[in-house]
Chains A and B, each alone.
Chain A
């Protein structure tokens, strides 16, 4: 019987040992959590980490033990530098408390299922649970400040102290404890600046255009290349050159032309005072424009299918405009000249100046 007893003790000892090994090997985390009662996965996300600035806090932690009915969670804010200050007017309306993501109903004091939250001091907030326990392993969240939106939107937050490390210690009758550190900088913000200048971009594709030798038999249109001693190299309307303009002026821009008609000494080719169709054999000098791209528009009398030229050497004429800011407007400019059989021989020329003016 004695021998049997010893064997039994050995078996029991071995069994206990085996269970111990099994629990330790496969259940270590569970065992240690319960023993330690240390909060895990603690974080406090602020909306700003600048010193001496009111900040919203979002504290998150996992409680291994849970919080019984009437149990308290105490948040204590401190710092390695100047301590933070909980706003003196902060109440439960500035705080949300969530159990596994579900908002708890809060009041200043607990009553039934309603939990109580109160600013205990300038550095302490105390939560007292209602009648519904927070179960072990729950993720508890405190939102403090304007980020608290349950029941009402928070107004008051916690003003951080001077630059250093902010500590949030969590204690209370619920038994678990923990602490989290958060950096506080003199300034955690970066101011970014940029300038958008008033702009007017204007370009002219060609500074010299040519008609060649004019003819009383058919209309001649200007072209960009010099045809030499050629009569009317371009007899169908064609683009002589183009202009481009864009501006960020809210009221757009104005595009004008100034210069005399074609002139040879004292002789001139009559400019068209109104939009007029080509008439071979009659003296006519005129232009028209078409627009593409942005929001600009050709101005009358240059917008119709005929031709006109109303500027002089001393008077400008508006040829196009935009009334709002516009991306690039491209104007295709076409020139026509007709002469009569009595037009004086000579080399006719003129210089026309285009000006784009932003309306800032």
Chain B
């Protein structure tokens, strides 16, 4: 979020007051963690390795043309943006209008909220999850990724210039929503279960008599409100026979008690394993119709958290022979 303000006429007293305002703005500014690295600068067409979003007749006091144009004299002053994957200058799909132009070339510019001009210069992303914010600020583009260009006046009928030409700044920000989620192994097994000892699942399916990682999951997001990682699925079942899920209380099962459970540990990032899966014992509170929260993060820190998942089972002596199976479905849901 960005507060747009338009300063009134300044005098000496107001400059002092303005300093107070800026200070208060910084204190009161809601946390907006910017992960994208959009950067725009004035350069030449030949040197631009990114995306040209606006072409200018000069570095200041200039007319503008759309990036689709090729007027030779404009090649020496182009607004070149880069730093974000999937960046473009399309005015369709996911885009923001940087400025409106009075024509496709040799044009004056106005703010995107005006309706005097019919040509749009745009900043776009191929990813729907990228949130593009365009703003018009005086002095600087604090709170945005970058200063795209500047205008001789606001809100319309302005000459254009490079980012430093005028105090009326065209600012841009791209917040690229990011969420990655991986599961290291889709098949694990205990081997033969025992009524006289605990058995732990392993990735090779043979099981182990000592606790070990069955598989791991990673989650990484920049979602402002973090994520939750859930598990859903039945306990181990063979026809009408089941190995009882431990339930919602962390417990180290006693051998021979017919129990199935999981636990997890977390490393890296701000994610944390949720109760009842975080203690040294095991639990399993998911069902075929109910998801159980395994882990969560209250904020997305863009750092990978790795969850090491361990699973335990033991059977009672009378549990009928058979192949016991289940499918656990893990879901990572970010909140943006």
Contacts and interface: CB of A to CB of B under 8 A. Distances in A.
B20 interface: yes
A191 B129 contact: no
A205 to B, nearest CB: 18
A192 B30 CA distance: 45
A15 interface: no
A78 interface: yes
A174 interface: no
B17 interface: yes
A327 B195 CA distance: 10
Contacts of B20: 21
A1 interface: no
Interface in A147-168: 165, 167
A251 to B, nearest CB: 11
Interface in B5-38: 14, 17, 20-21, 24-25, 27-30
Contacts, number: 207
Contact of B225 (A24, A41, A181, A249): A41
Interface residues of A, number: 63
A56 to B, nearest CB: 11
Chain A CB within 10 A, most for which of B28, B207, B316? B28
- Please classify the interface of chain B as helix (H, G, I), strand (E, B), loop, or mixed, using the class held by over half of its residues: mixed
A43 B1 contact: no
Interface in A283-313: none
A47 to B, nearest CB: 7
A195 B191 contact: yes
A314 interface: no
Contact of A46 (B193, B243, B313, B331): B331
B1 A183 contact: no
Interface stretch (B74-82, B98-106, B149-157, B176-184): B176-184
Contacts of B188: 190-193
A48 B333 CA distance: 10
B4 interface: yes
A50 B331 CA distance: 9
A250 B30 contact: no
A151 to B, nearest CB: 20
A25 B28 contact: yes
18 contacts: A24-B3, A24-B28, A25-B28, A28-B3, A28-B28, A28-B29, A43-B225, A45-B331, A48-B331, A80-B129, A169-B94, A180-B129, A183-B179, A188-B329, A189-B330, A190-B186, A193-B187, A194-B207
Interface of A: 13, 17, 20-21, 24-26, 28-29, 31-33, 35-36, 38, 41-50, 76, 78, 80, 165, 167, 169, 178-183, 185, 187-199, 201, 246-250, 324-328, 360
Interface of B: 1-4, 14, 17, 20-21, 24-25, 27-30, 94, 127-129, 131, 177-183, 185-193, 195, 199, 201, 205, 207, 215, 223, 225, 230, 232-233, 236, 238, 243, 291, 311, 313, 315-336
